[in-house]
Amino acid sequence: GQSLEQPSEVTAVEGAIVQINCTYQTSGFYGLSWYQQHDGGAPTFLSYNGLDGLEETGRFSSFLSRSDSYGYLLLQELQMKDSASYFCAVRVYNQGGKLIFGQGTELSVKP
Amino acid sequence: SAVISQKPSRDICQRGTSLTIQCQVDSQVTMMFWYRQQPGQSLTLIATANQGSEATYESGFVIDKFPISRPNLTFSTLTVSNMSPEDSSIYLCSVRQGADLYEQYFGPGTRLTVT
């Protein structure tokens, strides 16, 4: 089976940098994704790591280390609008690469 | 990208009844998925629905309870049958435009309350 662990809550101030970690146990997967979900909204895709290393997309970066079964999402220059839930997810080998989600991290950005 | 709409957006239903949720995509997609999300919780995959084949259900979900149709590449329905209050949740449709692609798009969800 698969399991992904994330901190349940993180709090930071505007302009700061925050890192949301994701550790996983899975038998095999294509890559690690990150999704953002605002309260009452649909999850939206943020980033994907198919290979080890860092992927950068604007203020957001994501990292994967398969040898450590670990990844993280880094958010820089935090803004109030970044307050949301963030989910890591693995795309597993079977069933055409279904997406299995972690429990989510609620990020609160304070002024 | 893909734009997904779901109907209804929310409903309040009596226990023992059934509700069918519709998912419409603005483009043809290979893979469709149905998820359930309790408020403040993670997304749990119910089933994968690919056109031309039977839906594949995850552990804990069965076809009699959650029948799915996938008549074409832009549309799917999920029925929640014989509802109980434990079925109160948000149901989300999700699509991926190709098996080898990694980005998944989500519909706005259907908020179901069973009384």
Q: What is the pLDDT of residues A38-88, one digit of tens each?
A: 998 999 999 999 999 999 989 999 999 999 999 999 999 999 999 999 999
- What is residue B89's predicted lDDT score, i.e. its pLDDT? 97
**Of A71, A73, A97, whose CA–CA distance to A86 is shortest?**
A73
**Cβ neighbourhood burial of A58 (10 Å; 0-12, 13-18, 19+):** exposed
Looking at CA atoms only, how far is residue A42 from chain B in angstroms? 5
Q: Which of A94, A95, A107 is best to mutate for the B interface (most B CBs within 10 A)?
A: A95
HEC profile for chain B?
CCCEEEECCEEEECCCCCEEEEEEECCCCCEEEEEEECCCCCEEEEEEEECCCCCEECCCCCCCCCCEEEEECCEEEEEECCCCHHHCEEEEEEEECCCCCCCCEECCCEEEEEC
Phi and psi dihedrals of A80, rounded to 5? -55, -35
Q: Which of A45, A48, A106 is best to mutate for the B interface (most B CBs within 10 A)?
A: A45
Three-state DSSP class for residue A33: strand
Q: What is the mean pLDDT of chain A?
A: 93
Confidence bin at B99 (pLDDT 50/70/90): low
**Of A99, A23, A50, A1, whose CA–CA distance to B34 is shortest?**
A99
Q: Which residues pair with A25 in a beta bridge?
A: A3
Q: Which residues of B touch A34 (CB under 8 A)?
A: none
